[in-house]
Structure 1
Amino acid sequence: MPRIILMGPPGSGKTTVGKVLAKKTELPLIDTDQKIEERTGRKIPDIFLESGEDEFRKLEREEVLSALKSDESIVSLGGGSILDEQV
């Protein structure tokens, strides 16, 4: 089965839909926002406040590019990642 990529604006339900799809397809869900929080030990709003948007976007880009290398998975992109030309 191919990779499924979920994208949309913040709060549009990407993570919720991703969890449902992961359960139905038995594919792993890679939520890039969750990966950023796990990696940094901080919540997204805290990263923005403490490190700024540029640092957050850098982290987001790294996680998205890593997730897109995975085979047969469901990838939930952060709401702003689709605006990044490098992604």
Structure 2
Amino acid sequence: LRTRSECYPDVTTGIQTRELVRTSRLVSGACGFPIPRNKAIVGLNAFAHSSGIHQDGILKKRETYEIINPQTVGWGKTELPLTKHSGR
């Protein structure tokens, strides 16, 4: 709902989205189930783009590959790790 607020202008949830990552880690630790690295929104790689074409897109227009800002769910900045897929 938050990423499409223009479609639902009268809907509020009261959810503190900046606490999603922290809450997910708390539940993960309590249950003993690790959070998959590539889990959307809360996984360690959720906002990491190693593909060269993704990195280029992020640098030019972030919304191309990220429909939400990482800070709104409790992450820091987007990561652009240099890997064999990053290109030249």
The normalised TM-score by structure 2 is 0.35
Q: Which structure has more strand as a fraction of its residues?
A: 1
Q: Which structure has more helix as a fraction of its residues?
A: 1
Q: More relative contact order in 1 or in 2 (CA 8 Å, sep 6+)?
A: 1
